[in-house]
Chain A
Amino acid sequence: MSKSFLSVEGLAKRFPAPKGGKPLTVFEHVNFTVEKGEFVCIIGHSGCGKSTILNVLAGLDEASEGAVIMGGREVKGPSLDRGVVFQNYSLLPWLSALKNVTFAVRARHPDWRREKVTAHAYRHLEMVGISDGAEHRKPSQLSGGMRQRVSIARAFATQPELLLLDEPFGALDALTRGVIQDELLKVWGETHQTVFMITHDVDEAIYLADRILLMTNGPFAQVAESVEISLPRPRSRDAIVEDPRYYRIRNHLVHFLARRSKEMSGERRREPGARPTTVRFDAEGEPPAGGPRLYAVND
């Protein structure tokens, strides 16, 4: 356990009491690990502190308690080893798509020659399907989907050890979302980077992730469960829905979001050192002991 690539230990975020109010604990006792090359999604309702956890991992925010250890070292402040893709893309609007990527490549490799930087940027833009002149357009001249592709290309181009995605597809329509999910999987498959992603979309999480962390509602939110997605890779959308595990996983997640995330929240249920319960659905056999019965998909 202690040899994990990324290890989050006893993370908590608390805000001091405002005048005449009570102090607020958004989440506490957050413990989980991520292995190298793993694709992990985290799901939870708004306000449970998912984004804060991601920002702490990125080094952009500080936790009130606890520590994040990556590759044997404590995470302090932002670093090029941890690339971030924000929901609102965060492209620099005065630079073209290509320049946004070369901006990142140059920060990563200050010693590279200009041609090498440009070639590297082009390669990553092509991976996400930005080519044929679109790379010279400014973000304002690109659609939301194209912007998010550029943002993903920028993050992958710096070759971070850990890639953090904060609801990257939240603002996209379903079709574009599907296409970019596939591109993300393709790039991830080629680069074997470790990905930690926030999403609200249960199907997206099942399609993409090796493991899904489930968070209870805030305040006092916690990472309650770690659901292993044992569906074989490479996955295809039409094939995974045939898999008997798919709907069992899906029902489990939906049930958690609809009911258990609420039931388990609001009080200090768990011990400080508690790890999320691992939930695994095998191809055959019973749901895990203590797990829920099956619920309708649109529960």
Chain B
Amino acid sequence: MTMPLRLQAAILSLALLAVGLLAWEAAVPRQTLATELTELELLMGMGAQRAGVPPPSAVFERAVTMLSDPFYVRGPNDKGIGVQLAYSIWRVLAGYGLAALIALPLGFLIGMSPLAYRALDPFIQVLRPISPLAWMPLALFIIRDSQASAIFVIFICSIWPMLINTAFGVAGVRKDWLNVARTHELGALRTAFTVILPAAAPTIITGMRISIGIAWLVIVAAEMLVGGTGIGYFVWNEWNNLDLTSVIFAILVIGVVGMALDAFFGAVQRAVSFSE
């Protein structure tokens, strides 16, 4: 009777899922089609007063249809879920990649130089708490392109955790390790890559992990605003179509992709972590 803890946890998770889905299924009142109503019922308005939330079985059916053909494109408002996801992931990676290109070297500089830290700190402190979506109108006006504006919003929201964590990690490298670099006559560049980078890597990757999480949260909202393509737009479009089944399915997909992005950085984090 001694099951491993992981197996026990998996069984409990499945049980909770089953209970939750059954309760949801049972809670949804049966809908009757208008054609099934008698004339009297139609006259009296005796059909359901309110459209119900679709049951999990309907969501599952929709998932099967959508996932069986995820990459179709039948016009601007009818694209497969895979295509929409690809747009969103591309935007996130583009904005995130640009942010990393700037945040990592700049964070290194700030971490190494107390002067740069003091000079840039006020800007960071003011810019960091701004909701990324607040930049949207300005971005649209200046960039004059909704796609690029969405990427800019991702850029601006993912830069801060990376920048701050890189600076923090670099500044916190133990003096002993820097002394090891000095007594071995390592140049500045080699010290940066062979001592400071590995020493600060766990902190830097933590910042990158936080950033990718925020970027994935923000892209949904940004795409609802700019429209056109992407999983956020898809959710809003299906809401306008009153197709809640698709909305629920899309919500689940957003969760799964977010989990996958986080798991990737979790794996990187384990790879670079060390214990003293």
Contacts and interface: CB of A to CB of B under 8 A. Distances in A.
A66 interface: no
B179 A90 contact: yes
Interface string A88-99: 101011110000
Interface string A56-93: 00111000000000000000011110111010101011
Nearest to B186: A107
A86 B274 contact: no
A84 B182 CA distance: 11
Interface in B183-208: 183-186, 194-195, 198-199, 201
Contacts of A78: 179, 182-183, 185
A190 to B, nearest CB: 22
A103 B185 contact: no
A60 B184 contact: no
Contacts of B274: 93-94, 138, 140
A107 to B, nearest CB: 4
A107 B176 contact: no
A79 B181 CA distance: 10
B198 A107 contact: no
Contact of A94 (B176, B182, B184, B198): B198
Interface residues of A, number: 25
A90 B176 contact: yes
A158 interface: yes
Given A93-B275, A94-B198, A158 B184 contact: yes
Given A60-B182, A80-B183, A107-B184, A140 B194 contact: no
Contact of B195 (A79, A92, A108): A92
A88 B176 contact: yes
B276 A93 contact: yes
B73 to A, nearest CB: 47
A220 B186 CA distance: 35
A94 B185 contact: no
Given A59-B182, A79-B183, 13 more contacts: A59-B183, A77-B182, A78-B185, A86-B176, A86-B179, A88-B176, A92-B177, A92-B180, A94-B201, A103-B184, A107-B184, A107-B185, A139-B276
18 contacts: A59-B182, A60-B182, A60-B183, A78-B179, A78-B183, A79-B183, A79-B185, A80-B184, A83-B183, A86-B179, A88-B176, A90-B177, A92-B180, A92-B198, A95-B198, A107-B186, A108-B184, A139-B276
Interface of B: 176-177, 179-180, 182-186, 194-195, 198-199, 201, 272, 274-276
Interface of A: 58-60, 77-80, 82-84, 86, 88, 90, 92-95, 103-104, 107-108, 138-140, 158
